[in-house]
Structure 1
Amino acid sequence: MTTRVVCWNIARRPAPWDELLSMGADVALLQEAGPVPEDAAAKIDTGSREHWDSHVWNSDWYSGRWDRLYDRWPLVVKLSDRVEVEWFKQVSAIGEPEADEVAVSGIGTIAAARVVPEDGQSFIAVSMYARWLRPHSSTNSRWKIGYSDASAHRIISDLSAFIGDIDPSTHRILAAGDLNMIYGATDDNHLALPARERTVYDRMDALGLEFIGPQHPAGVQANPTPHGLPPDTLNVPTYFDVGKSPETAYKQLDYVFASRGFHEQVTVRAMNSPEEWGSSDHCRLWIEVEA
């Protein structure tokens, strides 16, 4: 059996929910998801609020600081009856969560579930969103957007809870999402923090999580090669800038990882041609997991 997974940053837009329903996928790993529109809610199962909403476990400390902690979230979504989904409830970063819980150290950065195909082995599915964080005011930094590598490292720390052996082949983990990083960026890339970002990919590798891509030819490349990437880059754009269109996309921000060994059963393709891009500023990643 092939389990069909779509990974997509939907930018809190309503239109992608209808597109998800038309794709024939079994599971969606979403980032920046807002409320499910009423017309789609009856056909989509997002699990309990405890699996995605950090307000549930992390609300007291921010009381009185601002109106809301966050308004968009990573989700693991069930789209078909070909699979069962067992969501992990989020709790704070404690040392010994219960069997149906996952300890989370970042707000709005991760959602996790066990996916059980009707005819195949189960696997852990994780939706990742490396949120931008701004430098402390004491730095007087000019980085107005901030940095995403700190969020990514928090995600990796949380992922580590599902790794209980030095042998990666004992794990079946699929982790995908928007890391807000440019894979393989050269040191002169002004849109990245290359040295810092490389530590994220190195750490994934050290945990036995293989980088799956997508990489060309599993997606359309930007032409010409964007500044700040090596000439032999295999990156495929997955995001276009505000006010632009898919035709102008040149940055890859979305990626897929899988446990070493299990990764041989996983394929991914970026749906990044203008004709199939979809209604978000990020394109969809189509992932197939063989039984």
Structure 2
Amino acid sequence: MEEELATKIVCWNIAKRHEPWRELVAMDADVALLQEAGQVPPDVADKVDTGDREHWDSHVWNSEWYSGRFKNLSDRWSKVVKLSDRVKVEWFKQVGQISEVAEDEIAVSGIGTIAAARVTPHGGLPFIVVSMYARWIKPHPSTNSRWRVGYSDGSAHRIISDLSAFIGDTDPSTHRILAAGDLNMFYGATHSNRLSLTDRERTVFERMDALGLEFLGPQSPNGRQASPTPQGLPEDTKNVPTYHTAKKKPETAENQLDYVFASRGFHEEVKVRAMNEPEEWGSSDHCRLWIEVGKSV
């Protein structure tokens, strides 16, 4: 019997840096789900396949409404990247928020928040992958808000609405969807968490669950936990830090911002862990999430 190998996927916010691209091609992975990805450095351009520009760049389908206000819509994007010939990748082109799309399209409502593709392993069943980046949105000027950065749950809900197009039945077992990325929020945060809009963020995870997308963490023991428990999380939290600020480093990282979800039923074929030990963290402020889909036989 021919051995069916697991499909190896890396999810990573690379903060528009070049070095993560070089680390990706050295990992023997099949697919990367990237957030805040800039241009591919020339020295690895022949080792990765980012698909057509239409699958990640909102400039392609947006009008020129931003002319005179912004130099461009964004300089960093969510991308699905093919890293090996062990899989076939069919990217979905982004189009505006129309109600009926073609077979190779996805309607997108946020800028730089999502990229999607169909991945087919050799000898295996295809599944949909979605790279998610819940970018920050500043409150409307009329609010006179003191939220300097803004809120991320608005982008997260746009992402959920967009990926909902791949859900055509109330039975989650009829879907094979893997969605992963940086949601810029804290799973299980308490109301004492000064960095969290706790009730609003909770609705994101609840909505994923309502769509039949199982929360896969990663959670401890599939990653190193912060010690002591960060402020604003319950003592029994299983969160694992996936991000550190400029004032910290992998050893002192506290907060988990990156998560993985998969269709209920399909999720039993998916294994996830955070590569958040200091020696394996990588060259971004986010660590990598290592995802395996399928079972070896």
Determine whether 1:185 maps to 2:176: no
Specify which of 244, 247, 251 is matched with residue 251 of structure 2. 247
Deviation at 1:243, TM superposition (A): 3.5
Determine whether 1:94 maps to 2:98: yes
Specify which of 2, 6, 11 is matched with residue 2 of structure 1. 6
User: How far, CA to CA, are the matches of 2:70 and 2:171 in structure 1?
Assistant: 45
| Unaligned runs of at least 5 residues, structure 1 | none
- Who is 1:263 aligned against? 267
- TM-score (ref. length: structure 1): 0.99
Show CA shifts across 1:67-98 (max 9, x none).
11100000000000000100000000100011
User: How far, CA to CA, are the matches of 2:43 and 2:199 in structure 1?
Assistant: 45
- Who is 2:43 aligned against? 39
Determine whether 1:64 maps to 2:63: no
- Who is 2:130 aligned against? 126
Q: Say which SS state the counterpart of residue 47 (structure 2) adopts.
A: coil
In structure 2, give the amino acid aligned to 1:158.
D
User: How far, CA to CA, are the matches of 2:20 and 2:247 in structure 1?
Assistant: 18
- Who is 1:106 aligned against? 110
| Unaligned runs of at least 5 residues, structure 2 | none
- Who is 1:223 aligned against? 227
In structure 1, give the amino acid aligned to 2:104.
D
Q: Say which SS state the counterpart of residue 55 (structure 1) adopts.
A: helix
Runs of 4+ in 1 over 6 A off after TM superposition: none
Specify which of 210, 215, 224 is matched with residue 211 of structure 1. 215
In structure 2, give the amino acid aligned to 1:211.
F
Moved more, 55-64 or 131-140: 55-64
Q: CA RMSD in A?
A: 0.6
Show CA shifts across 1:128-174 (max 9, x none).
00000000010000000000000000000001000000000000000
Show CA shifts across 1:189-225 (max 9, x none).
0011010000000000000000000000000000000
User: How far, CA to CA, are the matches of 1:275 and 1:119 in structure 2?
Assistant: 34
Deviation at 1:59, TM superposition (A): 3.4
Q: Say which SS state the counterpart of residue 124 (structure 1) adopts.
A: strand
**Aligned pairs for 1:4-43 within 5 A:** 4-43=8-47
